[in-house]
Structure 1
Amino acid sequence: MIRRLAASALLSLVLAACGRDSGEAPEPEPVAETPRPAASRDFAATPSPTLQSVRRRGYVTCGVHNGLSGFAVRDVRGAWRGFDVDICRAVAAAVLGDAQAVRFRPVSAQDRFAELQDGRIDILSRNTSWTLSRDAGLGVDFAAVTYYDGQGFLARRALNLTSADELNGARICVQAGTVTEGNLADYFRARALSYTPVVVDTEEAARTAYEAESCDVFSADVSALASARSILNNPNAHVILPTVISKEPLGPVVRQDDPAWTDIVRWTVNALILAEELGINSTTVEASRETASDPATRRLLGVDGDLGELLGLKTDWAFQAIRQVGAYNEIFRRNIGADSGLKLERGLNALWSAPDPGLLYAPPAL
């Protein structure tokens, strides 16, 4: 048996040698395919029906709060101003090259998702919290987190309260149709505390009821409470308690059936954050486009590569958003930060790399 195997092996070697002598080429070794770069030029962006509609009509339709100081409010000339407003303007600059190509549609807390689902708005940018039930149960996608918030309590300074745990038996104003109601019930139930909810339809009604002393405290997102306090008759007579009872990641919402549009909104927000991280702002971005040598800045501004093509946008999509609306820190500062009436600290909304780091972090633009 062993002799037969050896003879067979020898015969195979002889035949192989004869094949080479007769000019036959050996079988080529398989060659590993060279990986394509992430932003390959032969990639065709998935068409976005929303983007096509926006380009056809010439403007983005944005659902906003009907009046929340710092986030969405009309100024004395009737122009919309605010943090959420600027997010929509940045998207318009990215997709149409014009930050003013937006039509704002005030939507209520109760109707905001229906307005989006029915196609009456392209983006919902209205201090809306990202939750599992909304994300998975309403046919919508949260494109990004633009503001990390939490639910708190506004109280009169004269009450000398130091914690929400001192609110046993209190009357608490809360807006209907928001996660705030559920958070409130969960918090008090977990601590075996009692309270009387004073449920109203809008934040304005809650503020009015609180100011009229129809309730003892007003509960909402801390940013909304800061907005409400800024327009009370005597803002200094009221304090926001240090207790924060929930996580409220706020950001723009889009329909779930158009993932390409989700990418556009998500990466517009990321571009604003990356601009701050790279030290670019609305006044320096033009010079940066001409002189920048670092690869990250050159890619973001469309000098090198063509990331815009992957989104179905022009090469200068991020450049236009930053030039016309500003980097994230500019948007924050003028609307709700140091240059605004709210004067909110960056806190959790500081960059991850800041001296006092926050949660703000954008994936790399590669």
Structure 2
Amino acid sequence: MARLVKCGAAVLAICVALPGALTTDACAADGDTLAQIRARGVIRCGVSEGIQGFSVKDGSGRWSGIDADFCRAVAAAALGDPAKVAYVPLKASARFPALAEGIVDLLARNTTWTLLRESALKVQFAGVLFYDTQAFLVRRPGGVQTTTGLKGAAVCVEKGTSTDVHLREYSADHQLDLKPLVIDSAGEARQAFYAGRCSAYAADLSHLAAVRVEAPGGPQSADILPERIAKEPLSPVVRGDDPSWLTLVRWVLFTLVAAEELGVTRDNLQARLGDPAVKRTFADDDAINRGLGVERGWMVRVVQSVGNYGEMFDRNLGPRTPLQLERGLNRLWTQGGLMYAPPLR
């Protein structure tokens, strides 16, 4: 039986807004996440309210982005079907309450991995899905070319983010006297920036790239300053009371990376399953399957659902997308990046 916990006001609003949310597991956190998901038949995945390249809903109601794809990969492993995802859009300030209260099973929402969050919020980060950095967006023309030109300026920042903390620390360290204008949501922060309420917008570089693409005057009307003021390792997050669920989510991520290391793609997977290295990696191990609580073939289903990590990156964030992001730190370790999968056996 699900253990009910008292919903906070912010999460109660989410409960009311979600069809079927006020069930026995709506505000549950009992350490048996996978059993609840199976009983429900769908994974509830907390995502952004709309950040291009990460999680955004189109006119037909379909969610796209690397975070949305990761949710599909987890559903493929856990439920056998990547379509069995209910996307729950959340403001940054509502994401951790929603996770803690059991409104979502998984956060895949541009969330930075920090010690404070793990220790104080009792959550667990599954691994880095995207290595990001914090930067500043300014309007052009404006004469500001570096952060020194922002001395004493108002800077838009979203409420409930590590960006706010890093912004204040950077301002103090460099004696810039920046004045954070803390705004409730990413959409409202973007609007405030383009309305001229602040001289700069501070956020993850990838987020700013999306904001720049959507600028009223086109991408050429805004610039991202060259300084990178903080590390922002973005990671999927689960509650800290269910180590088995954490393990499954973590190894879905590593499976995506391992597939790219092996040169396995969604298109060539079946043809490559006979290769010795691929066979060793993707072969079913009944002990592992029992430990994770999943059906045989879960790793194959993960790659079939979204491709390997590189395919996810290129499809949602890469040079052929509006964001035009380079792989950078998100390259494989064999290509000068930080991405690699631990041994699967």
Is TM-score (shorter-chain normalized) higher than 0.5?
A: yes
Which among 123, 134, 148 is matched to residue 140 of structure 1? 123
Per the alignment, residue 337 of structure 2 pairs with 358
Residue 287 (str. 1) matches residue 266 (str. 2): no
The answer on 1:259 being equivalent to 2:243 is yes
Correspondence for 2:184 among 192, 201, 206: 201
Amino acid paired to 2:74: V
Aligned length: 315
**DSSP-derived class of the 1:159 partner:** coil
Residue 317 in structure 1 maps to residue 294 in structure 2: no
In 2, distance between residues paired with 1:156 and 1:114?
34
Unaligned runs of 5+ in 1: 1-46
Distance in 1 (CA, whole Å) between partners of 2:326 and 2:193 is: 25
- What's the % identity of the aligned pairs? 43
Deviation of residue 301 (structure 1)? Answer: 1.8
Measured after TM superposition, the shift of residue 305 of structure 1 is 7.0
2:96 matched to 1:117? no
Alignment of 1:53-92 (within 5 A): 53-92=36-75
Q: Deviations over 1:324-353 (max 9, x none)?
A: 111001111111112321111100111111
After superposing on structure 2, the runs of 4+ consecutive aligned residues of structure 1 that deviate more than 6 Å are none
Alpha-carbon contact 1:144-1:251 (below 8 Å) kept: yes
Query: How do 1:1-366 and structure 2 match up within 5 A?
Result: 49-233=32-216, 234-289=218-273, 291-294=274-277, 297-302=278-283, 307-354=288-335, 357-366=336-345
TM-score, normalised to structure 1, is 0.83
Partners of 2:305 and 2:52 lie apart in 1 by: 22
Deviation of residue 306 (structure 1)? 5.8
Q: CA deviation at 1:160?
A: 4.0
Show structure 2 runs of 5+ residues with no match: 1-29
Aligned twin of 1:44: none
Amino acid at match of 2:326: E
Partners of 1:72 and 1:85 within 8 A in 2: yes
TM-score, normalised via structure 2 length: 0.88
Q: Report Cα offsets for 1:5-52 as digits up to 9, x if no partner.
A: xxxxxxxxxxxxxxxxxxxxxxxxxxxxxxxxxxxxxxxxxx971111
1:230-276 Cα distance to aligned partner (Å, 9 max, x none): 11121112111110111111111001110000000000000000000
Q: Which amino acid aligns with 2:226?
A: P
* 3-state DSSP of counterpart to 1:153: strand
Q: CA, structure 1 residues 152+341, in 2 after alignment: closer, same or farther (shift >3 Å)?
A: same
